[in-house]
Structures are given as C-alpha cells and as structure tokens.
Amino acid sequence: MWPFSTSYPTKTPQQLNAEYDYIIVGGGTGGCVLARRLAEDSSCSVLVIERGDARDIWLDRFPLPSTHHWSDRKHSMVLEADMLGPRRTSRINAMQYSRGAPGEYNAWAQAGRKGWSYQELLPYFERAECLYNPVTKGHYGTEGIIIQGSQKAGFAYGKDVSDPKLPTSGCFLIHHTIDLSGNRHSTFRAFLPMEFVLAHDQNLHLCVNTVARKIETEQLADGNLRATGVVVQSMTPGTASVFVKTRREVILCSGALRTPQVLMLSGIGPEKHLRDMGIPVVHNLEGVGSNLQDHMGAGIDLQCSLEHSLYVLVRPPWYLLYQLLRYFIFGDGWFLTSLVEVCILTCERWLDADSGQKPLGEKDKDASLPENIPDIEIMTSSVCDWRFPEFDRTRGGFTMLAAPLRPFSRGTLRLRSSDPLEQPVVNLNYLADVRDRTNLRAGIRLCMRIVREMENGGYPVGYFKAPRSLDDDALDAFVDGHSQSFLHYSSTCRMAPRDDPEPGVVDDELRVHGFTNLRIADASVFPQIPAAHLQAPVVAVTEKCADMTKATWKA
C-alpha cells in the first residue's frame, strides 16, 4: 500500500525484447483487457506500448478526485478542438458502466456484422462484470427529488440501466466501476494488477511513456499486407527509436483519436491526405480518421439545497474534513460518489407536446429492437458552474445535461504532421446535421419539464444558468454558449465493408482491411457511437477480440 508500494514493473524501449508474439499499442480501457487475456497463456509473449504511466497511488483510486474534472490532469491529454477534452480512459472517466440497449448490437448484426448481435456479445459483457452491493439506501437514494420529478413527467423508475428486460425509456440508476474497498476499479487495476504482472514477468512487458511512431509492414504474395512490427520511441524528446518485431499480430487499442493517427503515420489511410503530409502510401484506406462521432450536450445549472450539492464540501470548510474521514473510516460519503448517479433515457418520438413521456405500446417496450434505441439522455450531477456570476453561494447547485445519443453529424481526424508527438487535427463537426440540433432542443425541454415537476413538488429550485425561454431560437442560443463534450469519441475506424457509404476500416474479425495480422480493439471500431457510456462496450469488444485472436493462432 502507498507509500510503501513496490514499483510497478515496466520497461523502457531499450529494455524490450527484439520480438513478441503480440504487440498491443495502447494501454487504456481496451488495451489492459486484451493484454490480460492474451498473457494468460504463458507460452505467448505480449508487449503493451502506452503513452501514459503506470502510477497507481491512492489519489488514482479515490473515486471522486481521480475523475478527469478533479484530477491533477497527468492522465488527461487535451487536444486542440472546440469542446475537445482528453482521450477518455477508465483511469480518469466518471466510472459509469452501462452496456447499452440490446437493440444497439442487433442493429450491428442487421447491418451485416456477423457475430455482433446482443446475444453473441452477452457472454463478453458477463465475463468482465462482477456486480456486488445491489442498490441500497447506504449507497444510492431511491426516492430522490430528480427520480420523483422524472416519474411525475411519466418516466418509469428502473434500478439497472443495463437490464435488457426493461424498456429503453425511463429513469435509471447507473452502475459504477468501484470495488468492494471503495476504490476506482479501472481496467488497469482490474485486469493488470501488480500480482498478475509480476507472475507473468517473463511473457508480459509494459513499456510506458512511449509512443508508436509507425507500424512496419510487408506485402505478401497474395497481395495482402502483413504487419511486421512497431517502431517505438520514448516520450522524452531526442531519444532514439527502437523497432520491435511481432511473430503474430499487432493490435491497436489507442482509442478513436490515437488509433487513426498511428495508422496514418504508418501510411495506412486516405491516399490524398497521406501524400499531402509527405507520408509514403502503404495502403489506401479512406475510412481511417473519418466518421468521428462524440456525445455532446448542453448543461442547465440550477440552485438546490446545500446538502444535495458537492458545493457543500467547500462551504462550510470543516465539512470537507468530515467527508474525508467518512470515506477513509467507513468507505462511504461524498468521496465515494461519481459525478453522475442517475440518468433519464428516452426517444424523441415518445415525448408529448409538454415534453412528458407518452404511454408506451408493447412494441415500444422491446429493448431488443433497433428502433427503440434511446436517442436522448439526461444526466444529473451534483456539481455545477460555481464560478458563474449569478450563482448563489449560500445554496448548493446541480446540473442537468441533455445529450443526443444517436448523432447524425460526422467529423474527421487528420494528421498535423508526420511527428507522432504532435497532436492531430480534430474536427468534431457537432450539430452539423439539423436533426441533431432538433434532438438536443427536445432534450433541454425535457430537462425543464422535470425541473418544473420538482418545483411543483415543493423543492426550492433556482435558475441561474438556463435558457430564457423554450422557443427554438432561445434554445439554440443557449446550446451555442453552454455545450460540452462527453468525451465519448468513437467510430474513426468503423467496423464495416471497405466500400460502405461510410467507409469501413476493419472487418467482422476486427482485422484492418487488406491485412492478415493487424487488428483494432477500441471505440474507433464501433459502426456508430453506442447510445451508452463507452466503457462497457469497449470492454466487451476487447474481450471478443481476445477470443478471436487466440482462435486464429490456435487454428
């Protein structure tokens, strides 16, 4: 235990073996899962290349302070773009864990993705999950004012946002990746704990603070390409690069912002863009870096009772110490919490003229149908913009965030230069499709309806950062001034045919088109951004990738 912990075993590029069976580029949410599953076979050697570090002190495990918004930002990499935050990993995310509706994955199967229906993915969700401490009053409020307000607006209450038997519309409690001791349980801690890495020090190596400069390739007699290895370089400027060979596969797990960058640096991507960057074209693949999607939304900030807001931690000051003691002694209190505990999900077509929930028909309640995938999420958080001039510091504050879950807009990611240490050029292209703006307006109106129900119930809500009216122009002005990214970047290397109208990059086995041994297993492969928080879908995809990879080499 900190501060007496043994140093986590890592290697520098110069200490690596010349060759490994598997090279995993990216040690984030998916990379840690994949490394564990492949390294469980001690006869296989596995290398993980990660830009970040392997620090695991108590500050990284403390649920609330380790979230990106509160952390020291050492594990956040902020890129230059409007509303663009860090690459989201399970070490700094808000710990929400939701699978998404079964219809999400059934839509993939209906589009031709063999092996990707909900029933086929269910074993991979279940293999990674260990649910404990079901909803109790000790950890969750089940009669809170927001739940009551949403029920009055017509939304049924559900204890489990991932229950496939429940309708996709309702007010739900969210599961979080917190362990029995009250610590953040990232995939790094869950899948690559110290004891596992030490027990597999002969066949699993982790190389941190290191980037992949490029993937080296060779052409085979049948015209396909093969990845021969990866050129790696320390993040320290001026250090020499090292080439590491692969006997079997290279698997990219660097996320929707970094994976396409690595591919393009390797000459794999849109031909014209690569030539413009002065990079020799190895494989023309138009879909690389295209179809970028994210969940974004607008936050309404409201006053509330002080005891219902995280603002209570700084007013009065002694309360902060009290909550710290509660966390360390009893394992409960404010510091055990996430930023979001409750969400409201629905479809825009199910809202009535007053933004309430219409009665659902039996077909509407079937979560397995793709047409019932929710397209609006309302997230509630006990934090708000306390710096806002109109905020009353004698009271607390909370936020309601409205987000379109099925955006039609598409952005792009392109190289800024051939230097892997330079940030890529990101165009998120939010709300470019008018349908997304219409959907977001509906979400904000739903927020205001729930708030109105809270007021009608006698709760003292105060408005200090909210739209002045609910007409389209006022809502658009509010959105333009108060929107934010949810950091759910996805679909830049989507799983689809190469000649799809939105060109695909990987096949149903997650192999890059035209390659025999280059795969991708992260959020970039989603055919469309899931109507969920992305941690659970990424873990399931990576678990399935591990099985497909092992099956290939066993055969």
Annotated binding site: 89
Side chain identity at 415, as an amino acid letter? L
**Which amino acid is present at 339?**
L
Strand 396-404 to 340-346 pairing: unpaired
- The owner of tokens 């927001």 is 146
Q: Which of 176, 308, 513, 533 is catalytic?
A: 533
**Pairing mode, strands 19-25 and 46-49:** parallel
Q: Name, in order, each residue with C-beta under 8 angstroms of 15's C-beta and a sequence gap of 6 or more.
A: none
C-alpha–C-alpha distance, residues 467 and 474, integer Å:
6
Q: Degrees (nearest 5) of the Cα angle 7, 12, 14?
A: 145
Q: Which two tokens stand for residue 293?
A: 């999607």
Check if 533 is active-site: yes
Q: Report residue 284: phi and psi, to 5°.
A: -75, 115
Spatial contact of 334 and 65, defined as CB atoms under 8 Å apart:
no
Task: For residue 538, list its beta bridge partners.
Answer: none
In this structure, are strands 225-234 and 242-252 parallel, antiparallel, or unpaired? antiparallel
Q: What residues contact residue 391 under an 8 Å CB cut-off, 6+ apart? A: 301, 303, 384, 385, 397, 464, 465
104 residue type, one letter: E
* Cα–Cα dist 94/447, whole Å: 21
Q: Which of 205, 283, 488, 513 is catalytic?
A: 488
- Residue 186 is encoded by which pair of tokens? 């990232």
Q: Look up tokens 């006022």; give the residue.
A: 474
Does 273 participate in catalysis according to the annotation?
Answer: no
Amino acid identity of residue 405, one-letter, is: L
**Tokens in use for 398?**
């909370």
Which positions make up the binding site for FAD?
89
Q: What angle do CA 276, 280, 281 make, to 5 degrees?
A: 90
Pure H helices in 142-247: 145-152, 187-191, 194-199
Catalytic residues: 488, 533
